[in-house]
């Protein structure tokens, strides 16, 4: 696996693509099997796969969250080598950002709903860095996890607004054997936190299995009660929405997604489940 840390190295490496289909998996590092599943998907749909590891400061709304975000780069490199990733782009912050950069992209309601409401400014940081990475790597296809469903919608909107020639692929959420969605943040969970956190996936599964389009409000209420009654869990939101707009679903909505965010102890977790058809 080739490891590059500068834009110049990437440009030189991809100067002659010779018909290659470049697949791209952007990450914040602290890789787990969810990320590896994205690499595998990219390998099936590309001739060359590049993964980036960059803990992007502009998408963290809490400085403490940025500070404690795990950065096990040696372990990450080992995982990528074992899976046969072709290229790792691991730049320092100074390679991506100049001093006092300004960025704002009008992505409409997507910026302010759900995650955007609880993490104001987060999606401006996401679009800023993904646009930069797309401009550097110039991928043909980019792969993102369904666990960050709203992020996929936001990036899709950015690609549309800025006419970026890249195809986006949303890959299914990878789960532990007990149902917990894989996340780099899971390492912060105590044993008790982790056990209590299972209520998120259990509730999402219950909603999917008991879904009734004519009774969405009641199902949402029951889901909120299930999570609220779990010790050690602080619910931020549970919403059943249109899979494209993220506005509240109704009986006529075709693509329905249930999304949840909660704190298990001190660790913030998100998860979701497709109730209707996927949109990406």
Q: Which residues of 197-221 are buried (b: 16+ CB within 10 A; e: fewer)?
A: bbbbbbbbebbeeebebeebeebbe
| 36 contact partners, CB below 8 Å, separation of at least 6 | 79, 83
Q: Sign of the CA dihedral 111, 117, 120, 125?
A: negative
Orientation angle between helical segments 33-45 and 73-83, nearest 10 degrees: 40
221: annotated active-site residue: no
Instruction: Give 22-38 pLDDT, tens digit per residue.
Output: 999 999 999 999 999 99
Name the band, by pLDDT with cuts 50, 70 and 90, for residue 279.
Answer: very low
Full set of structural domains in the chain with CATH: 2-171 (3.40.50.620), 184-271 (3.30.1300.10)
What is the percent of the chain with per-residue pLDDT over 90, rounded to a whole number? Answer: 93
Instruction: Give 204-243 pLDDT, tens digit per residue.
Output: 999 999 999 999 999 999 999 999 999 999 999 999 999 9
The 267-274 sheet, strands edge to edge:
233-242, 256-264, 267-274
Contact 248, 232 (CB under 8 A): no
Contact 172, 198 (CB under 8 A): no
Catalytic residue, candidates 35, 122, 188, 196: 35
Give the three-class secondary structure for 185.
helix
Tell me the residue ranges of DSSP E strands in the chain: 2-4, 22-27, 48-53, 87-89, 141-145, 167-171, 233-242, 256-264, 267-274
Backbone angles phi, psi at 148, to 5 degrees: -95, 60
CA angle 246, 33, 264 (to 5 degrees): 60
First to last CA, the chain: 30
Contact 176, 151 (CB under 8 A): no
Name the band, by pLDDT with cuts 50, 70 and 90, for residue 100.
Answer: confident
- Nearest alpha carbon to residue 149 among 165, 173, 127, 133: 173
**What pLDDT does 277 receive?**
55
């Amino acid at each position: 696996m080739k490891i590059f840390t500068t834009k110049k190295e990437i440009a030189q490496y991809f100067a002659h693509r010779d018909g290659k289909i470049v697949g791209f998996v952007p990450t914040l590092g602290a890789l787990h099997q969810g990320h590896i599943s994205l690499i595998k998907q990219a390998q099936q749909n590309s001739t060359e796969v590049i993964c980036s590891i960059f803990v992007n400061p502009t998408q963290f709304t809490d400085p403490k969250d940025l500070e404690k975000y795990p950065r096990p780069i040696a372990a990450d490199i080992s995982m990528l080598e074992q899976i046969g990733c072709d290229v790792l782009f691991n730049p320092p912050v100074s390679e991506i950002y100049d001093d006092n950069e300004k960025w704002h992209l009008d992505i409409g309601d997507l910026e302010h709903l759900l995650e955007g409401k609880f993490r104001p400014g987060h999606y401006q940081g996401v679009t800023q860095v993904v646009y930069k990475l797309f401009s550097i790597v110039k991928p043909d296809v980019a792969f993102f996890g369904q666990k960050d469903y709203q992020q996929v919608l936001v990036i899709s909107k950015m690609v549309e607004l800025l006419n970026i020639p890249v195809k986006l692929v949303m890959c299914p959420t990878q789960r532990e054997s007990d149902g917990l969605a894989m996340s780099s943040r899971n390492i912060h969970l105590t044993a008790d936190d982790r056990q209590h956190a299972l209520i998120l996936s259990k509730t999402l599964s219950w909603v999917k299995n008991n879904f009734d389009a004519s009774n969405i409000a009641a199902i949402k209420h029951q889901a909120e009660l299930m999570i609220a009654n779990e010790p050690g869990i602080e619910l931020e939101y549970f919403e059943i929405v249109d899979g494209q707009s993220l506005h509240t679903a109704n009986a006529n909505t075709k693509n329905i997604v249930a999304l949840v965010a909660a704190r298990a102890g001190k660790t913030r977790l998100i998860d979701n489940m497709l109730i209707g058809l996927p949109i990406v």
